[in-house]
A and B are shown apart, each in its own frame.
Chain A
Amino acid sequence: MENIIIIEDDPAISDLIRLNLELAGHNCRQAYSGQEALSVFTDFSPDLALLDITLPDMEGYKLLERLKQSEVPVIFLTARNALADKVKGLKMGADDYIVKPFEAMELLARIEAVLRRYGRKSDRVECGGLEIYLQERTVKRDGVPVELTMKEYELLLLLLHNRNKALSREKILELVWDYEYSGETRTVDIHIQKIRKKLGWEDRIKTVYKFGYRLEVSP
């Protein structure tokens, strides 16, 4: 449960990000202007800020300086993809840079990476009766270790990071097995069967018809 502040003036995009982050188990607050962000900041101590560069009352760069003073990791969200803008943002201390339009999965992965880099992500994840120790790469169910192969463990992590969202077989294959062909989606099915059984998650890992799988956990 990380606190994330979304500073974005377009309500549609802001809501979209909030919905995605809440599905992944984050705690969100929205701010639609620089001033609002600063006032939200006082009673909500975020672990990470998503910051739009074009804000109605100030440039995102200005807000970045303020945020950096309180050592909050910042990911820039912007429609500008000029190299100069990226370099400027990163030089000023932004931790990452996401260009609109972006995919929710990419956003989540980048948030994950930045949080881990800052050590804000706890080493231990609890989900659906499982305890996952990221450092040791071990999984326990009710205190009893569950034996998982490398690929099974990675598949579990991928599902956890994208909880409540359907992942296509192709995407899973690409992200876990590192290759981009759709011929061997059977491999995904076999591994899903195995971890369902090993973790006792027959109900939680849902098959999405003609698409892929979704890990359902109440947020």
Chain B
Amino acid sequence: MKLWQKVFWGTFLLFEVLFNASSFYLIQHNFNQNLIREVDRGLTNQQLLTAQIENEWSYINNLNQLLNAAKEDAGDFLQHNASKYLKSFDPSSVFIDIKDDRDQTVFSNFSETIDGPRPELEVKNPADRKYIIRSIGRKSELFVAGMLTLSGRGFKLAYILDLTDIYADKNAQIRAFIKINIVITVVLAAGLYGLIWYLTRSVRMLTRSAQTIASGRYSHRVNVLSKDEIGLLSEQFNKMAEAIEEKVQALETAAGNRQRFIHYLTHELKTPLTSIIGYADLLRTTAFNEEVFYKSLHYIYSEGKRLESLAFKLMDLILVENIQPRMTVLDIRPIFEETAQLMRLQLEKAQVSLSMSVEAAKLPMESDLVQIMCTNLIDNSIKASNTGSGIGFRGYRTEDSRYVIEVQDEGIGIPEQDIPNVFEPFFTANPSRSQSNRGAGLGLAICSEIVRLHAGELDIQSRLNEGTVIRVILPGSYNSFTTCR
């Protein structure tokens, strides 16, 4: 069962039970009060009647004694005079029934027959009065009986009051209540339904949103409608969804990068392999032809070299990615000099000049890695440079006492849209460059890893056909190393 249905049925049933119970209680209570009042009235009236009859009888008896008239029989007196006492009562609802000491009816204007015993008539004491409520036919009658003593003779006077109206009232109330109850039930059901539906809409929205997000649309958000707990929950839910989205995106990016890495790697491995195997097979199976022979050997050699360089670069990358650098404070100058020495042959071959300027500084670093980084940066610059141009290789301090290693070339530059991608493994900004100049595209990926290990920053500025400046900004102090990695 849904929440709103639970709330609906719970509220509805609870209300119905309480409402019905209290209403019935009120009706019953009201009825009982009426009944008590009527019984009290019956008792009083019976007493009044008895007193009146006794007074009048003693008055007449005295009068008769004074006048010496014949003594009247009390029974006859009652028989003749009883009806006049009833004049002050409503003749349709009040009756009296008088019986003598032998239980013979002396007077009665009560027309119905009463079946069964009459326990109310069992009164012994003149002060006693008994009452009973009886159903006779469709009527309910109150019987109040008491002793009536006339000249020592004991009569019994039963005062009979019709209570049908009270019962009818009660039934009428119950019927009215049932009608009201039906109306109230309908109105309550409709009202509750609407109210609960309205109040739980945010829960339903939240549920739908959760389903949407769970089905893979991580960018979906809950539309927070209220400021109550559900609103709060929705907000938290949105935060959670955001976190999930970020994580999923990060995972997707990582998976995409890995896929691309593998894709490029296979390409970079298979291309030289195809040549090496192909040319070897060609030499193996064809008749000797000098031109083909030297060309094939040249390709086997150069492609083998390409594979070798790829293997070394890959090893560098793996090494750098897994290394825990041991930082030592060293002078930066020897590293610059060694790099320049290492690159000299390559520079001469490409006919590119290198101008170096170093500001001496002691820096915490892993010197081998910094050297790998410098050679990679200069190697990239040589590849980008045209014959006869120059490369600037500088090291200097900044005002905030950090150290900058800068490599500047006057080469072909990097298209603006490619700059964010250059640190990705196997990315080569300009694939149409001649094959001999092409690297595997791992150099900058290695550099960015090394910079990350040194908690430094990489800044790259480039203009097409004007040149590129790459700055590695290293923090000059120890403090930052405790936080890196």
A residues whose Cβ falls under 8 Å from a Cβ of B: 9-13, 15-16, 19-20, 23, 33, 54, 56-57, 79-81, 100-104, 164-167, 206, 208, 211, 214, 216
Contact = CB atoms under 8 A, between A and B. Distances in A.
A165 B285 contact: yes
Interface in B400-427: none
Nearest to A53: B267
Contact of B299 (A15, A20, A79, A206): A15
A100 B287 contact: no
Contacts of A166: 284-286
A9 B430 CA distance: 13
Contact of B292 (A11, A19, A54): A19
A104 B285 CA distance: 11
Contacts of A101: 270, 273-274, 277-278
Given A56-B432, A101-B277, A13 B284 contact: no
B274 A100 contact: yes
A110 B450 CA distance: 47
Given A16-B299, A19-B292, A102-B274, A79 B267 contact: yes
Interface in B261-307: 263, 266-267, 270-275, 277-279, 281-282, 284-287, 292, 295-296, 299, 302-303
B68 interface: no
A190 to B, nearest CB: 22
Given A103-B281, A166-B285, A16 B275 contact: yes
B-side interface size class: 20 to 34
Contacts of B274: 13, 16, 79, 100-102
A12 B292 contact: no
B271 A100 contact: yes
Contact of A12 (B284, B285, B303): B303
Contacts of B296: 19
A108 B303 CA distance: 23
B287 A15 contact: no
Contact of A79 (B271, B284, B303): B271
A11 B282 contact: no
Nearest to A103: B281
Contacts of A80: 263, 266-267
Contact of B287 (A79, A102, A216): A216
Contacts of A104: 278, 281-282, 285
Given A81-B266, A100-B273, A102-B278, 20 more contacts: A11-B435, A12-B271, A12-B279, A12-B435, A13-B275, A16-B274, A19-B292, A54-B267, A56-B431, A79-B274, A80-B263, A100-B270, A100-B271, A100-B274, A164-B287, A165-B286, A166-B286, A167-B285, A206-B287, A214-B286
Contacts of A10: 271, 275, 435
B317 to A, nearest CB: 20
Interface string B383-402: 00000000000000000000
A16 B270 contact: no
A10 B284 CA distance: 22
A23 B270 contact: no
Nearest to B282: A19
B460 to A, nearest CB: 22
A166 B277 CA distance: 15
B267 A13 contact: no
Nearest to A168: B285
A81 B263 CA distance: 9
30 contacts: A10-B271, A10-B435, A12-B271, A12-B302, A13-B275, A15-B295, A15-B299, A16-B274, A16-B278, A19-B282, A19-B292, A20-B278, A20-B282, A56-B432, A79-B267, A79-B274, A80-B266, A80-B267, A100-B270, A100-B274, A101-B270, A104-B278, A104-B285, A164-B286, A164-B287, A165-B285, A166-B284, A206-B287, A214-B285, A216-B287
A49 to B, nearest CB: 18
Contacts of B281: 103-104
Nearest to A22: B292
Contacts of A23: 286
Contacts of B263: 80
A216 B292 CA distance: 16
A10 B434 CA distance: 9
Contacts of B270: 79, 100-101
A34 to B, nearest CB: 10
Nearest to A81: B266
